[in-house]
């Protein structure tokens, strides 16, 4: 049996050191016979890159740019180019504060969809920002707009379980067919300080009629840091 070749990539910076050891251990426990793993550091200086390299991690480095949005897009585009140049069949984006199960690749790949992710929670770092599912739906009340899933909709989706088409679910734990990335880059628009590359990624896929799914049977733990502490957000 041939197992498709998968590149797991994780953008990171020095602000994620608090969970780095556990994260790397989690990735190394993934049970799949044909994957590689790289971290892509976008810190302002090379200090964190050098630290990760000294730890024996396969780490690459990209310029941070003017803000975290540019930094994240640069990391994602590095992974895109690397995957295309090295004949990967899929890329699996796992953010460096996400902890997936050991079977995450099989859990997502078995559905053979062009873009499919697991669901996770965002927020919760302060009392003012409660935890909320990171799943996006089209807002039928506003033409072309999107919104976060409501808690009621989320509970209904969990009860239904399985594969469900959505507008997007972040890229915290998302498997992407390489054929999608042949035609799609990651980008951001600095006119909007609250929108990262995932917003534009899913917008482009919607416009290209590329379906996106979430596997509601797969929940991944998210241990985010306080977003307000990122000075160049």
Q: Can you give the pLDDT at residue 126?
A: 74
Which run of H or E residues covers position 166?
strand 163-166
Look up residue 126 and give its DSSP letter: B
Dig out the tokens for 219 from the structure.
């929940």
Residue 192 confidence (pLDDT): 76
- Residue span of the structural domain in which 149 resides: 6-224
d(CA 200, CA 223): 24
Does 1 reside within a domain? Answer: no
Which H or E element spans position 159?
helix 151-160
> From CA 12, how far away is CA 93, in angstroms rounded?
12
Would 230 be classed as within a structural domain?
no
Asked whether the beta carbons of 160 and 216 are under 8 A apart, the reply is: yes
**Each residue's pLDDT tens digit, 124-180:** 777 677 899 999 998 877 766 889 999 999 999 999 999 999 999 999 999 999 999
CATH code, domain carrying 11: 3.90.550.10
Q: Write down the pLDDT at residue 94.
A: 98
Does the CA dihedral 233-83-201-188 come out positive or negative? positive
Report if residue 111 sits inside a domain.
yes
Is 231 among the domain residues? no
Q: CA-to-CA distance for 201 and 199, rounded, in angstroms?
A: 6
pTM of this prediction? 0.94
Say how many domains are in the chain.
1
151 part of a folded domain: yes
pLDDT given for residue 26 in this prediction = 98
Q: pLDDT tens digits, residue range 126-141?
A: 767 789 999 999 887 7
Q: Which mean pLDDT values do the consecutive 10-residue runs of the chain (233 residues) have? A: 94 96 98 98 97 98 94 97 98 98 98 97 81 92 82 96 96 98 93 84 96 97 79 62
| pLDDT value, residue 232 | 63
Tell me whether residue 229 is in a domain.
Answer: no
Whole-angstrom distance, CA of residue 12 vs CA of residue 18? 12
Residue 97 has a pLDDT of 97
């Amino acid at each position: 049996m041939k197992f498709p070749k998968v590149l797991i990539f994780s953008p990171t910076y020095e602000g994620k050191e608090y969970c780095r050891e556990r994260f790397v251990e989690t990735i190394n426990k993934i049970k799949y016979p044909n994957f590689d793993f790289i971290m892509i550091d976008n810190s302002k200086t090379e200090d964190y890159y050098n630290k990760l390299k000294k730890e024996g991690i396969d780490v690459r480095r990209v310029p941070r740019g003017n803000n975290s949005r540019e930094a994240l897009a640069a990391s994602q585009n590095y992974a895109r180019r690397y995957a295309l140049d090295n004949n990967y069949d899929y890329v699996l984006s796992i953010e460096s504060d996400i902890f997936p199960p050991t079977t995450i690749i099989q859990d997502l790949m078995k559905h053979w969809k062009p873009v499919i992710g697991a669901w996770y929670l965002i927020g919760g770092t302060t009392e003012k920002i409660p935890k909320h599912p990171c799943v996006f739906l089209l807002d039928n009340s506003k033409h072309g707009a999107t919104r976060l899933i409501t808690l009621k909709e989320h509970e209904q989706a969990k009860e239904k379980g399985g594969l469900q088409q959505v507008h997007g679910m972040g890229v915290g734990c998302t498997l992407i067919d390489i054929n999608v990335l042949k035609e799609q880059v990651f980008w951001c628009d600095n006119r909007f300080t609250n929108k990262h590359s995932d917003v534009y990624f899913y917008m482009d896929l919607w416009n290209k009629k590329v379906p996106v799914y979430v596997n509601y049977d797969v929940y991944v733990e998210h241990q985010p840091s306080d977003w307000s502490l990122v000075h160049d957000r």
